[in-house]
Amino acid sequence: MSGLHVDTTPFLPAAGKKGGSLHETAAACFVEEERPPTPEHIRRFRKSYMKQPGKRTQHWGLENDPPPRPSEFTYGTPGMKSRGVDGLMGSHAEPTSMQAYQQMRAETIYETSKKEQLGKTLNRHYEWPKQIVQDEEFRFGVKGSKEKVTAIEVILPSDAPSLNVTEEQKEMYKLSHYAYEPGEQKSRKYNWQKAGIDPVTHVFGAVAEIDYKDGVAKAINPDLEYESKVQPTEFMPKSVADFKKVRQDELGKVKNLGLGRHPVPPDYTYGISYKRADDWGAKECIQGNYTEEEQLPDPDLGRSLRRGCAPDEVLVSERTFGVPNVRNDIKPPKFQSVADSKNYGNEPGAKALLYPQPYATRGVYEEDFLKKYPKGELCDIAISAGFCDTMDEFDRLYSVACISSGASEDEMITLDSIRRAMYAISLE
């Protein structure tokens, strides 16, 4: 019929879940049922039971064991209730003459009781002048004034010479040390009057036509665009909402193709797990997991397995067949061809790959600096590299290099000697 929804797939089960009771309400769905307590025979295995506040933590295997000591057991030795603090610290009452004499005799064994007597200064047996000994009112130091002087005035007086800085000196410190006062604005000595600008009231920049604020916050949270800070509810036809539900992708969900929910559990994951018992991981790939027998070389390595092609005394001997990878047995060519893939032992090793030479990327190696060149070739290299500009400069450089290397000017020298000569000339 026109205007009614027609089920085009009646053979598929209906979506959703049927309720068990006809009297279920929304309020009943928000009422949480109390969780059942943990059974007694399982409680001692749970961490929430072992770490309760005020409860001593012990192993779950000792939970049902009888305690080794009674509950009223207390560590330590009980004290005597008759002895209070006064008895332990000593009585504050005035001692008798006999008690004072006994205390004095007991302390005479200490050296400090003779030198540092209680209530007296330390006697260092100084020979003081007569005016000091005879005058009982004598005091060391200068008598202070009766006015109250703070500690900061004593340490750093306000009239100290170091604080008397003139304005000219302050300007010099601002220029050399940027010693501005706290909160002082930096002055660049601009002539504002010439430009017709009042720096107190003038504002630089252009004024926006639209006073739009909190742009980043509104971009992150579009609800801030509205006065109520909440996006108003929009009403739309149900057909439009159903169309969006089918056509648009929902976050964290597969696309709704109108075929209903696949009969799989909620935690089901598609695909094959990459973890296998016999698969290697990154650790095995780096360190290896071979047995000692697998790491040994093959017993027939370098030997012929075909009987009859060679004498038996050759097959059972220690002779190794084949050609070595590094051809140290032959002389390398003077100019190696690109098509020649042989390794003559002159190729760089792993150290050169890990720690390349400074000029290796340009095809210049350390051997090139130690190789001897004639004077004309060294002149071309020095001028091209910018070591010198004229022939006279090179002649001086070449003479210093010959003297430092102990060679005559007719002999060939190395490029390293030229570099050392340049360094020696720069120190002059």
Q: Is 66 inside any structural domain?
A: no
Amino acid at 60: W
Q: Which residues contact 417 (CB under 8 A, 6 or more apart)?
A: 401, 402, 404, 405, 407
Q: Is 216 inside any structural domain?
A: no
Q: Say if residues 380 and 334 touch (Cβ distance below 8 Å).
A: no
Q: Say if residues 99 and 91 touch (Cβ distance below 8 Å).
A: no
Amino acid at 171: E
Q: Is 411 inside any structural domain?
A: yes
pLDDT of residue 89: 63
Residues linked to residue 373 through DSSP beta bridges, in sequence order: 413
Q: Is 407 inside any structural domain?
A: yes
pTM higher than 0.75: no
Q: Is 410 inside any structural domain?
A: yes
Which band of pLDDT confidence, cut at 50, 70 and 90, is reported for residue 49? Answer: confident
Note down the domain range covering 384: 368-426
Distance CA 404, CA 400 (A): 6
Residue-wise pLDDT for 247-275, tens only, equals 888 777 777 777 777 788 878 877 777 66
The rounded percent of the chain whose pLDDT value lies above 90 is 0
DSSP state string for 364-426: --HHHHHSEE-HHHHHHHHHHHTS-SSHHHHHHHHHHHHHHHT--TTS-EEHHHHHHHHHHHH
pLDDT of residue 23: 59
Q: Is 99 inside any structural domain?
A: no
Q: Is 413 inside any structural domain?
A: yes
Distance separating the N- and C-terminal Cα atoms of the chain: 109
Considering its fold, how many domains does the chain have in total? 1
Q: Is 63 inside any structural domain?
A: no
Distances (CA, A) of 245 to 222, 239, 248: 22, 10, 6
**φ, ψ of residue 270 in degrees (nearest 5):** -80, 155
Q: Say if residues 326 and 343 touch (Cβ distance below 8 Å).
A: yes
Which band of pLDDT confidence, cut at 50, 70 and 90, is reported for residue 88? Answer: low
Residue 156 has pLDDT above 50, yes or no: yes
